[in-house]
Amino acid sequence: MLIAGGGSACLEKLMGLSEIPCQIQIVSPEISPAVHEFISGKPNIHVILRTLVETDLEGKDLIFLATNNGKTNAEFRNLANQKGIWVNAVDDPVNCDFFSASQVKVGSIRFAISTEGNFAGISSLLRQILEELIPVEHADDFEALFEIRRQLKLRLSDPQKRKLALQSVIKQLRETYFQ
């Protein structure tokens, strides 16, 4: 996988890709301190400090263009498409073959946010808001709720009765703790 660019858009892509076990190559004339810090200690991420060239596309399956340069994005999307490589150009939907979503994961709950390439900053902001509203520390609480639901499904086979039981629990919590 290739990321062209070394600034904040690169960092956003790296954060979204960090759970995927793959080799990532970053090509950029410079790397921001935040990107440098993020990739520290990650042997699967390699940096080449120079301008992107056509040979950088060789052997790649996916390319993220985080360049802030529509002309460069169009040129490298065309080159990549000739080689059968899919391209995502950050904040440049015209030069995208696919859109990627900003994600928030809390236990087994996952939120995906996308603006279809129109405004990555909004996706990032919404991700940050969700991370503050539902901190990762609550993952065990969600898992406990899921287990209650699983047990309830075993004891109440009628979906309507199960729904009423869950609504009753939620109502009791609201009345007790949120009024």
Q: Buried (b) or exposed (e) across 3-32, using 16+ Cβ within 10 A?
A: bbbbbbbbbbbbebbeeeeeebbbbbeebe
pTM above 0.75, yes or no: no
Amino acid 30: pLDDT: 96
Which residue range is the domain that position 73 belongs to? 2-100
Report yes or no on 94 lying in a domain: yes
Mean pLDDT by 10 residues, the chain (179 residues): 94 85 95 96 96 96 93 96 95 89 80 79 82 82 85 90 88 81
Q: How many domains does the chain have?
A: 2
111 located within any domain: no
Asked if residue 119 is part of any domain, the answer here is: no
Predicted confidence at residue 57, as pLDDT, reads: 97
Q: Looking at the structure, do residues 11 and 87 belong to the same domain, yes or no?
A: yes
The reported pLDDT for the residue numbered 53 is 97
Beta-bridge partner residues of 112: 103
**Which CATH number do you get for residue 16?**
3.40.50.720
- Looking at the domain assignment, is residue 116 inside a domain? no
18 shares its domain with 94: yes
Q: What is the structure's pLDDT at 94?
A: 93
Asked if residue 7 and residue 65 are part of one domain, the reply reads yes
CB 136 within 8 A of CB 106: yes
> Residue 107 has what DSSP assignment?
T
Pairing between β-strand 109-113 and β-strand 102-106 as defined by DSSP bridges: antiparallel
Same domain for 168 and 89: no
- Decide if 125 is inside a domain: no
Q: Which of 100, 122, 157 is the last residue of a domain?
A: 100
* pLDDT for the residue numbered 78: 97
Give pLDDT, residue 65.
96
**Same domain, yes or no: 94 and 146:** no
